[in-house]
Amino acid sequence: MTYQSLKGFPDILPDAAAGWRRLESVIHELARRFGYGEIRLPMLESTDLFARGVGEGTDIVGKEMYSFLDKSDPPESLTLRPELTASAARAFVQHSMAQAQPITKWYYIGPMFRYEQPQAGRFRQFHQFGLELYGSPNPEADAEVIIAGAELLRMLGLTNYKLRLNSIGTAEERAAYRTALLEYLTPLSGDLSQESVRRMEKNPLRVLDSKKAEDIRATADAPKILDVLQEESREHFERVKGLLAASGVEFTIDHRLVRGLDYYTRTAFEFQGLDLGAQDALGGGGRYDMLIEQVGGKSTPAVGFSFGMERLLIALQHAGLAGDMAPEEDVYVIGLDDASRAWAATATAEFRAAGLSAECDLLRRSMKAQMREANRRGARAVVIVGGDELAGRHAQVKDLASGDQKAIGFDDLLGELKGLLARPAAPHTVPAPVQPDRTEPISES
């Protein structure tokens, strides 16, 4: 019996994991610059949290959650987190963050689970990086979060995207808009896709973000939510736009952008990749001023976003920025006979203890096979020891980047290797930086 991973639950093997680590290091650096603290939240929460927080009428709660009854008596319904904004809101309330400080800024990285039809860029287990900012009702907070999203893409070197921006108003404004939209859509329902007709009942706003040609045609002259906003929401939106423009962040106003989660109020946005095919949302978010109260806390305004990390990696690949694999190894130690193999094992352990990445042969292979292995692993240097070297207490050290080779006494080996590793290698083996400088996209250094 052989097993396969579940559909939509990909494995990430070491070669791919290098790209993930690189992305993660950029994210941690971004969060440091913007002053967000990392939170690590549980995979499982009560089903009710998402039903309430994300909304019963959403696709996520309606058909995409991995929910099950646990073994308690009576059984409790639990759900693998489909997103983290609701969980973070739960944690914000549980740990009384509102009392601790006026503004709380959190970020997270981790897997989410949605029972969706897998396709390119869409998985059932996928990863998000997200930011959540609690405590400010002001447009400066919306702008900070959106600018952080744009800055992430800039640090990664991604430019082929569009930032779509909208305001979906307060709950009251949306209720009024919903009525107006339904009045417009009802006589046209014969022209809409089946899915949109179904959506019309639960959440007519979602008809606007359908990608189907017939829906786009039928809604071309639909009333726009921006036109029904009251003075305060309108002013808020104008300020957000002004702050983004002042920071040089380009955006497109898109009245079709309504987002698929129920908690949003006012600002909504999405970073759309322009070469990602059907699953083109790199990330999205918005303001959600009612959620904290909905999950049992004191009314607290909040705004945030999440990016899909698989999608960021796909976009990096498309842009040719996935990066060469950095050499994984500093040194490969080769022993030519029994006694020198034993020496190689001990020396390898010493090099590791001194902080080098070191490897030696575990299969008692020939010198030629060991050299091939050292090259395959991308080792920077090899240390070669045979009977003569052991007797003379020295080793041959070869710099695989330059091809230089010399005999070095055992006592000087570590110093020699450290010196060799400090010298730049040939251009194709320069490791990719993990802490990009503010002024340079990671692709260029």
Residue nearest to ligand HAM (CB): 308
Residues 138-167 that bind ligand HAM (CB under 6 A): none
Name 252's bridge partners: 164
172-223-187 Cα angle (round to 5): 105
Q: How far is the CB of 279 from ligand HAM (least distance, A)?
A: 7
d(C-alpha 336, C-alpha 334), whole Å: 7
Q: How far is the CB of 230 from ligand HAM (least distance, A)?
A: 23
Of the candidates 377, 364, 358, the one whose C-alpha atom is nearest the C-alpha of residue 335 is 364
Residues near ligand HAM (CB under 6 A), total: 26
Would you say 128 or 219 has its CB closer to ligand HAM? 128
Residues 367-426 that bind ligand HAM (CB under 6 A): none
Q: Which stretch binds ligand HAM (CB under 6 A): 119-127, 164-172, 226-234, 329-337?
A: 119-127
Would you say 126 or 351 has its CB closer to ligand HAM? 126
Q: How far is the CB of 91 from ligand HAM (least distance, A)?
A: 14
Residues 229-268 that bind ligand HAM (CB under 6 A): 260-261
Name 68's bridge partners: 78
Cβ-based neighbour number of residue 332 at 10 Å? 28
Q: How far is the CB of 319 from ligand HAM (least distance, A)?
A: 16
Q: How far is the CB of 204 from ligand HAM (least distance, A)?
A: 19
Would you say 177 or 305 has its CB closer to ligand HAM? 305
* Contact in structure between 363 and 349 (CB atoms under 8 Å): no
Would you say 219 or 272 has its CB closer to ligand HAM? 272
Written as one string, the DSSP assignment of 136-182 is --SHHHHHHHHHHHHHHHHHHT--SEEEEEEE---HHHHHHHHHHHH
Would you say 128 or 167 has its CB closer to ligand HAM? 128
Of the candidates 228, 20, 32, the one whose C-alpha atom is nearest the C-alpha of residue 148 is 32
Q: How far is the CB of 377 from ligand HAM (least distance, A)?
A: 32
Q: How far is the CB of 60 from ligand HAM (least distance, A)?
A: 7
Q: Which two tokens stand for residue 439?
A: 């002024």
Q: Which stretch binds ligand HAM (CB under 6 A): 9-17, 89-97, 128-136, 422-430?
A: 128-136
Q: Helix %, strand %, coil % for the chain, to 5?
A: 45, 20, 35
Would you say 61 or 379 has its CB closer to ligand HAM? 61
Would you say 142 or 330 has its CB closer to ligand HAM? 142
Q: How far is the CB of 296 from ligand HAM (least distance, A)?
A: 18
Among 53, 55, 130, 297, binds ligand HAM (CB under 6 A): 130
* Contact in structure between 387 and 377 (CB atoms under 8 Å): no
Report if residue 123 touches ligand HAM, rule: CB under 6 A. yes
Characterise 41 by phi-psi region: left (phi > 0), alpha (psi -120 to 50), beta (else).
Answer: beta
Helices vs strands, H then E, count in the chain:
17, 16
Name 308's bridge partners: 128
**In which residue are the tokens 């995409």 written?**
64
Would you say 122 or 352 has its CB closer to ligand HAM? 122
Three-state secondary structure call for residue 332: strand
Name 131's bridge partners: 107, 305
Residues 275-334 that bind ligand HAM (CB under 6 A): 281-286, 288, 304-308, 310-311
Q: How far is the CB of 85 from ligand HAM (least distance, A)?
A: 4
Among 126, 129, 177, 332, binds ligand HAM (CB under 6 A): 126
Among 128, 170, 233, 267, binds ligand HAM (CB under 6 A): 128
* Contact in structure between 22 and 157 (CB atoms under 8 Å): no
C-alpha distance from residue 91 to each of 80, 131, 239, 258, 370 (Å): 16, 14, 30, 26, 53
Residues 32-91 that bind ligand HAM (CB under 6 A): 83, 85
Contact residues for ligand HAM (CB under 6 A)?
A: 83, 85, 114, 116, 122-123, 126, 128, 130, 132, 260-261, 281-286, 288, 304-308, 310-311
